[in-house]
């Protein structure tokens, strides 16, 4: 179930957008955006808070608290309804195009009656924007590029929405009488970075109660097709869900089949054929007698094919079958192997929670160590100073070891400047236990300059981890252009780890980049880059991505015991 916090976050963001589109006070729009973020990141369920409780959330004042309680009480927010009536939903969709601001979106609507991305795409195509003041060649080009990025994500949804929906549906269907097993399969089980549709499986003798239950779920907005074997619905958030009900004895075969990928299944079916067997969603059968030889569990099915069980995140036909046949399947890292998070923020910069709360929550996750890495002074809007970071260090040293004996590392997230330079001089950097360094601007330098910039960061003896290395934002911004093989080689040579940033809209490095970097012998850090307490739980997306990149414990520095990690942090040249 979506948390009330998430619902309110979305609503307040919409309100902020609507204020901006209708030309309202920019300051007010920004205040709502900040409140939205704070509420989304607030650890407690806001539907249980009274007005006073609400006002304790950072960036939530009286007027916003009033609106939140109005929504919690009535399920509606009058001011949003009013503005929705004036502005078609599609106009708001326009501002999801990177580089298209609210003012331009409103003008497109008022002057050309454009109220959706596809209408805008046709207008650009027909060169209908040329006469509009302020929409010069460059703007049009930006819009064209932005639309392309949006369309490339092609209606696929981000992991968190898919996972939340899947867990809700699996929870509901598991409660239906007669349910022997229930799970999600498909690309979500393989943890692809975006999801086309959900594939939910049930093992039961009768299918009808489950098909009906799915159609009647509160999340279901539309029934696409209802049948005895398969039912498809669409949720209110536009996600398609396919439900299949299998006989309990076919559970393992069904799970294997519908987990995919298609490419992986083609390989397993071929292996079956070579052994005189036939593999389907119902089981593995002897081709001649038709007798079932394995079907109850995935392990049985793989074993009968002469293969070990293959983790779903590897099932892409990217060499996993060959490795399995050779008995060299990597033992991929799991969430339980993670001993600490090495890139996190507090409210000293742009995080939402104070140091104490982040530390408490991290200890609650059972971590052995935890690094705090607030932004350094060169991201000017964060207003970091030497005094502030040293005061934080002092407080952190006091807290060190006091929460379930978790050890604290004092770090920072440096900004890699256009020439590879960073925020502080060496003497000052030497005082940190760990430095992450990331790109935050100047993304269009060209390949050679960008490569030099990143290599120089690796060669800095005080930089241990390159944060979100490509800076891509899934569906919104491509990664920077660099000679990555050269960067990966520099990482391996200098003992600099690459981050697998777990934020679900980043997942940076992505699986394919990881596979390439591993070839160079690079080490990795799987980090959440948490800006709030709930973000710490996003580790699962980072681990999923690391698995898809075939990383083992040995490849990931934050699975190591602290003594080994500390050795890694004593980088050559220091």
Residues at the interface with ligand DGT (CB under 6 A): 186-187, 192, 195-197, 199, 257-258, 260-262, 265
Q: For residue 527, what are the β-bridge partners? A: 501
Q: Provide the minimum distance between the beta carbon of 156 and ligand DGT in the complex, in angstroms, as a whole number.
A: 7
With CB under 5 to 8 Å by kind, the binding choice for 258 among ligand DGT, Ca ion, Zn ion, none is: ligand DGT
Which residue of this chain has its Cβ atom nearest to ligand DGT in the complex? 260
Q: What is the CA radius of gyration of the chain?
A: 26
Is 265 or 501 the residue whose CB approaches Zn ion more closely?
501
With CB under 5 to 8 Å by kind, the binding choice for 7 among Ca ion, Zn ion, ligand DGT, none is: none
With CB under 5 to 8 Å by kind, the binding choice for 168 among Ca ion, ligand DGT, Zn ion, none is: none
Angle subtended at Cα 531 by Cα 410 and Cα 339, rounded to the nearest 5 degrees: 55
Is 195 or 384 the residue whose CB approaches ligand DGT more closely?
195
Q: Provide the minimum distance between the beta carbon of 60 and ligand DGT in the complex, in angstroms, as a whole number.
A: 37
Q: Residue 94: which of 129, 68, 67 has the closest Cα? A: 129
Is 199 or 513 the residue whose CB approaches ligand DGT more closely?
199
Binders in 412-441 for Zn ion, by CB under 5 A: 413
With CB under 5 to 8 Å by kind, the binding choice for 14 among Ca ion, ligand DGT, Zn ion, none is: none
Q: How far is CA 269 from CA 252, 426, 567, in A?
A: 15, 58, 47
Task: Locate all alpha helices (DSSP H) within 95-185, ordered by sequence.
Answer: 102-112, 117-125, 137-152, 159-174
Query: Which range touches Zn ion (CB under 5 A), out of 270-278, 306-314, 473-481, 526-534?
Result: 526-534
Q: Provide the minimum distance between the beta carbon of 268 and Ca ion in the complex, in angstroms, as a whole number.
A: 18
Is 187 or 471 the residue whose CB approaches ligand DGT more closely?
187
Is 189 or 375 the residue whose CB approaches ligand DGT more closely?
189
Is 196 or 377 the residue whose CB approaches ligand DGT more closely?
196
Is 413 or 513 the residue whose CB approaches Zn ion more closely?
413
How far apart, in whole angstroms, are the C-alpha atoms of residue 557 and residue 562? 9
How far apart, in whole angstroms, are the C-alpha atoms of residue 376 and residue 436? 10
Is 158 or 354 the residue whose CB approaches ligand DGT more closely?
158
Q: How far is CA 169 from CA 156, 192, 235, 257, 351, in A?
A: 19, 19, 11, 20, 32
Q: Are strands 434-438 and 465-466 parallel, antiparallel or unpaired?
A: parallel
Residue in this structure with the two tokens 């549906």, named with its chain if needed: 169
Q: Provide the minimum distance between the beta carbon of 522 and ligand DGT in the complex, in angstroms, as a whole number.
A: 28
Q: Provide the minimum distance between the beta carbon of 208 and ligand DGT in the complex, in angstroms, as a whole number.
A: 22
Is 201 or 329 the residue whose CB approaches ligand DGT more closely?
201
Which residue of this chain has its Cβ atom nearest to Ca ion in the complex? 186
How far apart, in whole angstroms, are the C-alpha atoms of residue 335 and residue 362? 14
Is 190 or 410 the residue whose CB approaches ligand DGT more closely?
190
Q: Provide the minimum distance between the beta carbon of 242 and Ca ion in the complex, in angstroms, as a whole number.
A: 4
Q: Provide the minimum distance between the beta carbon of 506 and Zn ion in the complex, in angstroms, as a whole number.
A: 10
With CB under 5 to 8 Å by kind, the binding choice for 140 among Zn ion, ligand DGT, Ca ion, none is: none
- Please tell me whether residue 180 adopts helix, strand or coil conformation: coil
φ, ψ (nearest 5 deg) of residue 131: -85, -5
Q: Provide the minimum distance between the beta carbon of 185 and Ca ion in the complex, in angstroms, as a whole number.
A: 8
Q: Got the DSSP string for 207-233?
A: -HHHHHHHHHSTTEEEEEEE-SSEEEE
> Can the peptide bond before residue 514 be classed as cis, meaning omega within 30 degrees of 0?
no
By CB under 5 A, name the binding residues for Ca ion.
Answer: 186-187, 197, 199, 242
Q: Binding marks (x or -) toward Zn ion, 358..397, rule CB under 5 A?
A: ----------------------------------------
**Site for Zn ion contains 300 (CB under 5 A):** no
Per-residue buried b or exposed e for 434-460, using 16+ beta carbons within 10 Å of the residue's own CB: bbbbbbbeeeebeeebbbbbbbbbbeb
Report the residue from 300, 316, 320, 529 that binds Zn ion according to the rule CB under 5 A: 529
Q: Provide the minimum distance between the beta carbon of 204 and Ca ion in the complex, in angstroms, as a whole number.
A: 19
How far apart, in whole angstroms, are the C-alpha atoms of residue 10 and residue 87? 17
H or E element that contains 99: none
With CB under 5 to 8 Å by kind, the binding choice for 205 among Ca ion, ligand DGT, Zn ion, none is: none
Q: Provide the minimum distance between the beta carbon of 517 and ligand DGT in the complex, in angstroms, as a whole number.
A: 25
Q: Tell me which DSSP letter residue 570 carries.
A: S
For 153, counting Cβ atoms within 10 Å of its Cβ (0-12 exposed, 13-18 middle, 19+ buried), the class is middle
Binding residues vs Zn ion (CB under 5 A): 413, 529
């Amino acid at each position: 179930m979506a948390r009330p916090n998430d619902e309110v976050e979305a609503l307040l963001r919409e309100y902020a957008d609507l204020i901006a589109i209708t030309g309202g006070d920019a300051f007010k729009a920004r205040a709502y955006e900040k409140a939205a973020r704070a509420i989304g990141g607030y650890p407690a369920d806001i539907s249980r808070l009274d007005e006073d409780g609400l006002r304790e959330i950072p960036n939530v004042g009286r007027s916003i608290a009033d609106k939140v309680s109005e929504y919690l009480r009535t399920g509606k927010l009058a001011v949003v309804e009013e503005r929705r009536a004036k502005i078609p939903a599609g106009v708001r969709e326009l501002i999801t195009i990177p580089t298209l601001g609210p003012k331009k979106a409103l003008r497109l609507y008022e002057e050309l009656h454009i109220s959706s991305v596809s209408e805008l795409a046709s207008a650009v195509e027909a060169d209908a924007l040329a006469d509009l003041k302020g929409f010069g060649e460059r703007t049009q080009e930006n819009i064209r590029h932005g639309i392309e990025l949006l369309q490339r994500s092609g209606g696929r949804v981000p992991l968190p929405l898919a996972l939340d929906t899947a867990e809700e549906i699996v929870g509901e269907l598991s409660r239906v009488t007669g349910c022997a097993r229930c799970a999600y399969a498909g690309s979500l089980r393989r943890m692809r970075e975006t999801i086309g549709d959900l594939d939910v499986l049930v093992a039961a003798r009768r299918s009808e109660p489950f098909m009906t239950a799915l159609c009647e779920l509160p999340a279901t907005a539309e029934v696409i097709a209802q049948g005895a074997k398969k039912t498809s619905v669409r949720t209110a958030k536009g996600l398609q869900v396919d439900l299949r009900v299998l006989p309990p004895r076919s559970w393992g075969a069904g799970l294997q089949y519908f987990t995919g990928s298609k490419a992986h299944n083609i390989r397993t079916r071929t292996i079956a054929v070579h052994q005189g067997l036939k593999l389907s969603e119902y089981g593995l059968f002897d081709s001649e007698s038709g007798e079932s030889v394995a079907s109850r569990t995935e392990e049985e099915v793989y074993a009968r094919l002469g293969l070990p069980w293959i983790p779903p995140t590897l099932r892409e036909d990217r060499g996993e079958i060959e490795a399995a046949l050779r008995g060299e399947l990597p033992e991929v890292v799991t969430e339980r192997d993670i001993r600490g998070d090495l890139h996190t923020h507090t409210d000293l910069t742009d995080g939402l929670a104070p140091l104490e709360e982040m530390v408490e929550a991290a200890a609650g996750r059972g971590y052995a160590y935890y690094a705090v890495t607030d932004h350094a002074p060169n991201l000017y809007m964060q207003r970091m100073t030497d005094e502030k970071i040293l005061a934080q260090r002092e407080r952190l040293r006091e807290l060190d070891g006091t929460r379930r004996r978790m050890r604290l590392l004092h770090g920072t997230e440096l900004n890699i400047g256009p020439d590879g330079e960073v925020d502080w001089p060496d003497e000052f950097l030497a005082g940190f236990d760990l430095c992450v360094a990331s790109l935050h601007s100047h993304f269009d330098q060209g390949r050679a300059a960008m490569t030099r910039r990143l290599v120089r960061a690796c060669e800095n003896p005080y930089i241990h981890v390159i944060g979100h290395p490509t800076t891509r934002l899934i569906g919104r911004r491509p990664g920077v252009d660099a000679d990555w093989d050269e960067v990966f080689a520099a990482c391996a040579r200098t003992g600099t780890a690459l981050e697998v940033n777990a934020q679900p809209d980043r997942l940076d490095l992505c699986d394919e980049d990881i596979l390439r970097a591993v070839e160079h012998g690079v080490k990795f850090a799987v980090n959440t880059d948490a800006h709030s307490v709930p973000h710490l739980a996003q580790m699962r997306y980072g681990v999923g991505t690391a698995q898809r990149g075939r990383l083992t414990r040995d490849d990931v520095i934050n699975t190591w015991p602290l003594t080994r990690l500390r050795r890694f942090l004593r980088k050559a040249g220091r």
